[in-house]
């Protein structure tokens, strides 16, 4: 076995700007897709809970397809498949100083759609965990369904949603590498392009592994901090009332922006 230590240290500690751009793209892809995916998941969860049957069925179908097919297949299908069938082509978009490449758009779309299906189930479980009596009380006070969701149910569902949401983002960081298949220059594709020029596969894949380990570790620390503020100490199990300090934090977040 030959392990080129100087090569390894060089790429680990003095990454090129190309490599750092790949890292940045990985983070941006993950964050943006997680945000879209969460929004999509909320919409799908509410649709699943809707009494209007077509809406309910559409949400179930979406969740069924997205959870039942490989993410890699979804990525290629959305970018290459749809273009090949002349259904949809992703063109580069210029937003002044920012250029968003077509394959980046497709990658974000695929990751978001996939994430939305998993988030839908997580959010649905969170909503179901809130005591139905509170929703009835809110209705009896004349609150509409939308208002009681926003003010009563979702703020309390959040504390059950946050821990799995953190877990999903950890997965998202790693799954974002799959968009390398459609040429999005994120960390793995950059690594692979350096690999094809140097053939130092062992060293390069150790480095990229360590980079991802660093990302997920940092996120893990952040997650612990977030959960400490949101998650219930739960002396009485699920459905137990949230403790005090956390509730303030939660309320601040929910109320941010609203008068």
- Residue of 6, 17, 140, 196 interacting with another protein (CB under 8 A): 140
Distance CA(216)–CA(225), nearest Å, equals 14
- Residue of 53, 91, 94, 244 interacting with another protein (CB under 8 A): 244
Q: In this structure, what DSSP letter does residue 91 have?
A: P
Asked if 156 is part of the footprint of another protein (rule: CB under 8 A), the reply reads: yes
Asked if 166 is part of the footprint of another protein (rule: CB under 8 A), the reply reads: no
To another protein, the closest distance from the beta carbon of 258 in angstroms equals 10
Stretch that binds another protein, among 18-26, 30-38, 101-109, 241-249 (CB under 8 A): 241-249
DSSP for 242-253 reads: P-HHHHHHHHHH
Asked if 137 is part of the footprint of another protein (rule: CB under 8 A), the reply reads: yes
Stretch that binds another protein, among 1-9, 86-94, 135-143, 189-197 (CB under 8 A): 135-143
On whether the CB atoms of residues 28 and 105 are closer than 8 A, the answer is no
- Residue of 21, 80, 129, 139 interacting with another protein (CB under 8 A): 139
Q: In this structure, what DSSP letter does residue 231 have?
A: S
Distance CA(157)–CA(49), nearest Å, equals 14
Asked if 143 is part of the footprint of another protein (rule: CB under 8 A), the reply reads: yes
To another protein, the closest distance from the beta carbon of 224 in angstroms equals 22
Q: Looking only at Cα atoms, what is the longest distance across the chain?
A: 73
Asked if 92 is part of the footprint of another protein (rule: CB under 8 A), the reply reads: no
Asked if 142 is part of the footprint of another protein (rule: CB under 8 A), the reply reads: yes
On whether the CB atoms of residues 89 and 74 are closer than 8 A, the answer is no
Asked if 89 is part of the footprint of another protein (rule: CB under 8 A), the reply reads: no
Distance CA(118)–CA(227), nearest Å, equals 20
Two tokens, residue 55: 């809406």
Q: Is the CB of 99 or the CB of 137 nearer to another protein? A: 137
What are the residues facing 99 on neighbouring strands? 94
């Amino acid at each position: 076995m030959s392990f080129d230590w100087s090569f390894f240290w060089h790429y680990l500690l003095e990454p090129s700007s190309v490599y750092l751009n790949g890292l940045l793209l990985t983070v941006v892809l993950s964050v943006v897709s997680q945000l879209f995916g969460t929004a999509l998941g909320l919409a799908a969860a509410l649709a699943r809970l809707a009494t209007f049957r077509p809406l309910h069925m559409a949400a179930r179908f979406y969740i069924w397809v997205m959870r039942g097919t490989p993410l890699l297949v979804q990525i290629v299908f959305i970018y290459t498949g749809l273009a090949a069938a002349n259904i949809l082509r992703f063109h580069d978009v210029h937003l002044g100083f920012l250029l968003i490449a077509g394959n980046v758009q497709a990658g974000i779309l695929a990751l978001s759609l996939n994430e939305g299906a998993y988030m839908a189930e997580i959010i649905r479980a969170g909503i179901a965990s809130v005591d139905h009596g509170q929703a009835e009380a809110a209705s009896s006070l004349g609150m509409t369904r939308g208002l009681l969701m926003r003010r009563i149910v979702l703020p309390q569902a959040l504390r059950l949603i946050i821990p799995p949401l953190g877990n999903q983002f950890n997965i998202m960081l790693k799954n974002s590498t799959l968009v390398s298949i459609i040429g999005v220059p994120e960390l793995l594709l950059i690594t692979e392009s350096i690999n094809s020029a140097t053939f130092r596969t062992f060293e390069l894949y150790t480095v990229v592994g360590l980079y991802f380990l660093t990302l997920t570790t940092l996120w893990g620390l952040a997650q612990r901090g977030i959960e400490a503020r949101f998650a219930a100490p739960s002396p009485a199990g699920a459905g137990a009332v949230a403790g005090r300090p956390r509730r303030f934090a939660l309320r601040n977040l929910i109320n941010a922006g609203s008068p």
